[in-house]
Structure 1
Amino acid sequence: MRRVTKIAAAVLCGSLGVTALTACGSNSTSSGSAGGTSTSSAGSSAAAGGLKVGMAYDVGGRGDHSFNDSAAAGLDKAVKDFGVQTKELQATNGESDADRAAKLDQLAANGYNPIIAIGFNYAAAVGIEAKKYPNVKFAIVDDSSNNLSNVTNLVFTEEQSSYLVGVAAALKSKTGTVGFIGGVDVPLIHKFQAGFQAGVKSVKPNDKILVKYLTPAGNFAGFSSPNLGQAAAEGQLSQGADVIYAAAGSSGDGAIKAVHTHGNAWSIGVDSDQYNLPGLAAYKSTILTSALKNVDVAVYNYIKSIHDGSPLTGTQRFDLKSGGVGYSTSGGFVNDIKPQLDKATQDITSGKVTVPTS
Structure 2
Amino acid sequence: MTKSTGLNVGIEGLRIDFDDFTALKPTDLQIREKELFTLLGPSGCGKTTLLRCLAGFIKPTAGRVLFDGRDVSVIDPWDRGIGFVFQNYALWPTKTIARNVAYGLEMRGLSKSVIREKVAETLKLVELTGAADQYPGELSGGMQQRAALARAIIIDPPLLLFDEPLSNLDAKLRVKLRRDIRDLQTRLGLTAIYVTHDQEEALDISDRIAVMRQGEVMQVGTPREIYETPANAHVADFVGKACFIAGRVVSDGQFQLTSGTTFPATMTPETTTEAAVAAFARPEHISFTAPGAGDLAGVVTEVSYLGNLTRYLVSVEGQPIMVETRDAVGTGQQVGLKLPPLRLFNTMPTGHISQEAA
Verify same fold: TM over 0.5. no
Q: Relative contact order (C-alpha < 8 Å, sep 6+): which is higher?
A: 1
TM-score (norm 2): 0.26
Bigger fraction of residues in strand = 2
TM (norm. structure 1) is 0.26
Q: Comparing both structures, which one devotes a greater share of its residues to helix?
A: 1
Higher-Rg structure is 2
